[in-house]
Amino acid sequence: MSNKNPFEIRAEMLKLAKDYMDQQYHMNIQFYENMIAEGEKARKDVESNLADAYKMYSMDELMNKAKELYSFVSEKK
């Protein structure tokens, strides 16, 4: 064990605490940057699918669905 005076011990503890807090700070920054990136990706996914959610059917799609349903009703078994 080294013979350190109280000032050296305090300085070492201060350095350890600072290193720990710096590392914690950088980990928090990285975590939030990852969260922002994931949120941005999710937002883009929602935006790309949002147009489909509000897309109105066409007259051709309506007629095809009506024919499909009518053929089911008029089908004789």
Q: Which residue has better confidence, 75 or 40?
A: 40
In a domain, 1, yes or no: no
In a domain, 22, yes or no: yes
0.75 exceeded by the pTM?
A: no
The tokens for 3 are 């013979």
Quick one: pLDDT at residue 54? 84
Quick one: pLDDT at residue 1? 58
Cβ-proximal residues to 4 (8 Å cutoff; 6+ apart), any chain: 12
Cβ-proximal residues to 12 (8 Å cutoff; 6+ apart), any chain: 4
Contact 16, 23 (CB under 8 A): no
Q: Residue 74 — pLDDT band, cuts 50, 70, 90?
A: confident
Domain count, the chain: 1
In a domain, 15, yes or no: yes
2-58 pLDDT, tens digit per residue, is 799 999 999 999 999 999 999 999 999 999 999 999 999 999 888 888 888 888 999
In a domain, 39, yes or no: yes
